[in-house]
Structure 1
């Protein structure tokens, strides 16, 4: 017999209507947060960044592809990875169907990673993805937008992620990042190398030929982009997880 509470349809409806009020309040709060994001001051980008894309070398302005807005997903795929981060990959599984709609609403989209373009293209083919994906290999882009740190920063501390300064990394077995070990293995690298890349998203606008940075978010700020979790949050048992359970979508059949 189930241990979860049960009730009549009338009792369920009463509880559901109470929940509906809370959901509506959350929606109104979300709308207000979106307005606050849009009111953030724009920061002019004067630094020259170069990217390698399927179409060749590109500047940050080129990534707009004729549109006035650009959304970038900072995908964890370092030069020493053999495959993309499984978490970033699970998020990216939802990109294909979204990009065409963004592009027809004056918004360009691209993922950006530090791995060389050939690695990105190979993994993209393996995953069956079609969204734009640029390599920032050799560029400061990832470091400047707080989604990458050097080995020295990792050893000595001082790098910033999610708007906080990090301490030096000298983690023993079983430490705070030990949960990253399975994902590092799936990406084909060690934990220290794996966590030198970080996930995030950034937004830019092109106004009168000038690129401005408008917004960035990291860590749990990416939850709203992770379609899998939006569905699980509405499932009877919710996220129902005691640890990281997902993997690259072509590896579930491997047990």
Structure 2
């Protein structure tokens, strides 16, 4: 017997109509937030960043590939990882289908990580991905956009993540590390401190008259809207059900190895 509240069809419909009103309010609020996001001032990017791509060495401007907008997913795949972060991988599983539509809407979508290009290419083959993925190993790109940290920064807590000084990463750099972090680190072939020197995020850029501008970045829970699975789970009877195991996302080919 279910422990969840039950009721008649009439009771369900009354509750559903009340919820529908709140959902519509949320949609309108989301539209307003999107408008304000697009009204943020643009910041000129004067620093020269270099990336390694499948087509060779590239600048940030090169990543636009003729479009006027570029979206970068800061994918957690550090130089010492043997695989991509399982949570980032779960998000990226939805990129292949989006890339073509975005490209034809004047937007290039990239993943960028600090792992060497050869590692990224090998992992793409394993996952069956075709979206563009660049290595920023030879530049300060990840550090400047607050998704990678040095060992010294991690130890001293002198860094910024999610617009907080010594924020999210510092809290997770506890000893011992939470079991979910230990499992995630093991799944990418490293230890928890090394794993946590990379963090997820996304950044948006525009280019006009050959000048690149940074327009937006978001981190942590700000990425929830990019998780296709979360949007489905939020509508499932038990929601995200995160008590299922904590940090329970797996690489797509490893769910049957639990």
Q: Same fold (TM over 0.5)?
A: yes
- Look up the match of 2:184: 183
- Look up the match of 1:96: 96
Give deviations 1:166-199, integer Å, cap 9, x for gaps. 17686322x5x55311000001100000000000
- Look up the match of 2:222: 221
- 1:140-179 alignment runs, 5 A limit: 140-166=140-166, 171-173=174-176, 175=177, 177-179=178-180
Give deviations 1:145-182, integer Å, cap 9, x for gaps. 00000111111221100001117686322x5x553110
- Look up the match of 1:119: 119
- Look up the match of 2:205: 204
- Look up the match of 2:87: 87
- Look up the match of 2:39: 39
Q: Secondary structure at the match of 1:108?
A: strand
- Look up the match of 2:110: 110
Q: Secondary structure at the match of 1:79?
A: coil
2:29 aligned with 1:3: no
Name the CA distance, whole Å, in 2 between partners of 1:244 and 1:74.
Answer: 19
- Look up the match of 1:254: 257
Name the CA distance, whole Å, in 1 between partners of 2:254 and 2:180.
Answer: 19
- TM-score norm. by structure 2 comes to 0.96
Query: How many residues are matched?
Result: 253
- Quote how far apart the aligned CAs of 1:214 are: 0.1
Name the CA distance, whole Å, in 1 between partners of 2:155 and 2:242.
Answer: 32
Q: Secondary structure at the match of 1:158?
A: coil
- Quote how far apart the aligned CAs of 1:9 are: 1.2
Q: After TM superposition, where is structure 1 displaced by more than 2 Å over at least 4 residues in a row?
A: 167-171
Q: Secondary structure at the match of 1:78?
A: coil
Q: Secondary structure at the match of 1:205?
A: strand
Instruction: Say which is worse superposed, 124-133 or 234-243, in terms of deviation.
Output: 234-243
Name the CA distance, whole Å, in 1 between partners of 2:133 and 2:45.
Answer: 21
Give deviations 1:189-243, integer Å, cap 9, x for gaps. 0000000000000000001110000000000000000011110000011111211
Name the CA distance, whole Å, in 2 between partners of 1:172 and 1:213.
Answer: 36
